[in-house]
Amino acid sequence: MNSSKVILVTYPDNFSLQEARSLVESSSSSTSPQPQIVKVFTQKYLNHSRYGLGSGKAEEIKEFMKQSKADQVVVDEHLTPKQIHNLEKLTEAKVIDRERLILNVFHERATTIEAKLQIELAEVKYEMPRVRENAKLTSGSTERPGKGGMGEYTVDVKFRDLKRRMSFIKKKLADAHTKRELYRQQRLKTKMPIVSLIGYTSSGKTTLFNLLASENKEVSSSLFTTLSTTTRSFRINNNEKEKRESPLLLIDTVGFISRLPHYMIDAFKSTLEESLAADLILLLIDTSEKFEDIRIKYESCWNVLDELKVDKSKVFVIFTKCDGVIDLSEHIDKIANDLRVSNPITISSKSGYGIHKLKTTIAHNLFSQSLSREINSTKVNTVPEEGAYIIAAADIHS
């Protein structure tokens, strides 16, 4: 995002407001200044036919644009090309919808080859249905045949180029998937159990990953600091009496986010399914947030897990970031009762609180239930893996 002055249009509830703000702030890059949100407009419904938002609100934004000299409007909802065109014409400013904003964030955060390919595929899928509509809006009946020859229009050439680009990206991703499958087969041969960390974005997955695996991956309060899958080995005590340690594999993933379209999920589905096929899945919940936000994020996570038919017996809920909570016991009991979670494990990756109990739980569920399972206790090389997991949570306004 190149603008430094942004007008944000979102829903009036606190959860949507905070998430939209975080998305805008996370869209900055090292080469562009962090966007400054100069005004937030809220509206209960963002599905009006002409602008997405209501005509009265659109006129209000137009007037504010003249005073503030803001040059971008971010609408926290999916907009059609026609709605974007109408709103840009009215406000004389660039308009970005939620999907484009998320793609911008992904584009800035992606570092591995596969993550970049997956995001590029999502970008193509975002553009394809808009090509012909944009051509109608900008060219109308004056469009002339393009470089492809008589009777072929520029829009047809562009659409065909996008299809070729999609085929090329899919082939590259298939090659990456084959490579990742070889890594997976290597891991299966070692018979090492796999633990996967999942949860809403900024729930503390990478911080816990760093602690358990003795890593130093970047940690930030910004959304989607982690966009690539990382797999590392770590050792855990599976016998308190003999103090015997066994190796495990730990997977860190990108966080969940609400209201993502299906085409974004499809772009990352293969790596997502691999992560959720782990022997043990730790679902991290940030307990430092408001109760209403915790409930929305928790339900969103489970909607996705149910949609992907994940074995619920493998999922353990972990309450994170408890170090800043006042009256911890009462606070945790209230969250657990509200979410109907029995015997949650409460931890702080920052202070170390509850980490021993977490390790004991992991060991019990991976080793005690399978006494006949032989674990390779020799040192195993770490297997870095490229990829990105994008998870679409349910639309909280549906």
3-state secondary structure of 123: helix
Instruction: Supply the pLDDT for residue 382.
Output: 40
Amino acid 221: pLDDT: 57
Q: What digits encode the pLDDT tens for the residues 127-141? A: 888 887 776 776 554
Q: What is the reported pLDDT for 395?
A: 39
Digit-coded pLDDT (tens) for 83-110: 999 999 999 999 999 999 988 888 877 7
**Are both 5-106 and 191-393 of the same fold?**
yes
* CB count in 10 Å sphere of residue 170: 14
The partner residues of 198 in beta bridges, in order of sequence, read 283
Segment 140-166, tens digit of pLDDT? 544 454 454 444 567 788 888 999 999
Strand partners, 393: 258
Identity of the residue numbered 91: T
- The CATH number for 5-106, chosen from 3.30.420.250, 3.40.50.11060, 3.40.109.10, 3.40.50.1000, is 3.40.50.11060
Residue 124, pLDDT score: 92
pLDDT at residue 380 greater than cutoff 60: no
- pLDDT of 238 strictly over 90: no
List alpha helices for the chain, DSSP H: 14-26, 55-68, 81-91, 98-109, 113-138, 154-190, 205-213, 262-267, 269-276, 291-307, 328-339, 355-363
Confidence (pLDDT) at 153: 67
| DSSP secondary structure code for residue 77 in this structure | S
Greater pLDDT, 253 or 29? 253
pTM over 0.85: no
Q: Taking a C-beta distance cutoff of 8 angstroms, is the pair 212, 205 a contact?
A: no
The yes-or-no verdict on residue 344 having pLDDT over 70 is yes
Please say if the pLDDT value at position 227 is more than 60.
Answer: no
Q: Binning pLDDT at 50, 70 and 90, where does residue 381 land? A: very low
In the chain, domain spans? 5-106, 191-393
- Determine the Cα angle at 64 with ends 61 and 70, to 5°: 95
CATH class of 191-393: alpha beta
| Across 49-72, average pLDDT | 92
Q: Among 1-15, 47-61, 267-281, which is the least confidently predicted range?
A: 267-281
Q: Is the pLDDT of residue 193 over 80?
A: yes
Mean pLDDT rounded to a whole number for the chain: 80
